[in-house]
Amino acid sequence: MADVVVDGRLNVDAVRSHFPALNQKQVFLDNAGGSQVLSDAINSIRTYLEETNVQLGASYNVGQKATEKYNEGLKAAADFMNASLNEIVIGPSTTQLFSNLSQAFALSFPDDAEIICSSIDHEANISAWVRLAKIRNLKLKWWTPSAEPGDLKLTADNLRPLMSEKTRLVTCTHTSNILGTIHDIKAIAGEVHKTPGAMLCVDGVAYAPHREVDVKALDVDFYSFSWYKVYGPHIAVLYGSQAAQQNVTSLGHYFHAPADTLATKLGLAAASYELVGTLPSILSYFGPDRKKTWSAIAAHEQRLQGILLDYLNQRDDVVVYSERSADSKLRVPVISFSVQGKSSRDVVEKVDACSDFGIRWGHFYSKRMVDDLLGLKQDGVIRVSMVHYNTEQEIRDLVSMLDKVL
């Protein structure tokens, strides 16, 4: 990605040249639901299906090439999040991977175990644990921050009163797919690990498109995100530390022994070969100095969200949910709001009717938060979710359109 970072600043025109879907009128501002896909990833899928579409593990020539491409994809996935190869598993979605993980925990948790679930998460990181608690008759505690719209933030401090010597699992989001606020996962992990045997499981889906993920630096036990939010195809990855894997019972076939990798335990042959093969191209896109690239992305996204937040914050009839600052250290450019006296659905559909801006209304699978904490049961929030291929001019034009509609 050296061509898109010049003197430390993102060259957005060069960025956009990597995404063929951007060569149309539609302005993509629903990126938290799924980003556009890199051209190299698209080409990789075609090449795999044309040249190496065979079962893995065969000794003949094409079989060896297919296996090599698949293994390169796994290595790229592990490298992307600073994990070891035996600590990751690829699956169809974060929802499915967390569901598999919960099944694998079913036999290992003691009868008096307690689970703590964040109430502001996407349902992917809630329903699996609610189901596990019900099946095993375990105690489930809800981790709910202040219900004030500007204070919906998970912290080590508001987690601490929920922890006990019986806590075995704490689940939370790195960044809410509605609020955009960045949680201090390393501090939360430190609080969790004060309790012997307690583990932290993090949903990183809304964080990974915007910032570098380093699971070792975060000191998490489990961490998952979806590649189709990170400029690739519709697959996901789950990390599980080697220590935490001791609590994971294998769901795999009996003859896959010893089950000494997370993929063996939870993979269930669900990783599409041609899609896994795209992951090296995504890693390559971020260039040889990924920290430099992520830094340039954060700076650009701060400018994008600043344009929108400056407009929304000055309106008396608009409620911005959670972090109102554009500081990239505090939030990513996933911004949700509502307008007093106006239906979120009506606002979005008016924008649809007279422009090419693709924004959304709804609960975005964070229904518990939207219904119970935000009190927006009817049609949820208005969400604008930007990524680094969006331009400042697009956001200025969106502000002009919102001003007309509102």
pLDDT digits (tens, 9 = 90+) for 310-348: 999 999 999 999 899 999 999 999 999 999 999 999 999
pLDDT in tens, 90-139: 999 999 999 999 999 998 999 999 999 999 999 999 999 999 999 999 99
Banded pLDDT at 150 (limits 50, 70, 90): low
Average pLDDT of the chain? 96
Preceding peptide of 258 cis, ω within 30°: yes
Which pTM value belongs to this model?
A: 0.97
Q: Which residues of 318-357 are buried (b: 16+ CB within 10 A; e: fewer)?
A: bbbbbbbebebeebbbbbbbbbeeeebeebbebbeeebeb
Q: What is the pLDDT of residue 215?
A: 98
Q: What is the pLDDT of residue 171?
A: 98
Q: Are 239 and 222 in contact (CB under 8 A)?
A: yes
Q: Return the SS3 of 139.
A: strand
Q: What is the pLDDT of residue 3?
A: 83
More confident residue, 239 or 5: 239
Q: What is the pLDDT of residue 149?
A: 58
Q: What is the pLDDT of residue 258?
A: 81
Q: Which residues of 159-180 are buried (b: 16+ CB within 10 A; e: fewer)?
A: beebbeeebbbbbbbbbbbbbb
Take residue 167 and report the two structure tokens written for it.
């806590």
- For β-strands 381-385 and 199-203, DSSP reports them as unpaired
Q: Return the SS3 of 252.
A: coil
383, HSE (Cβ side, Cα atoms, 13 Å) = 27
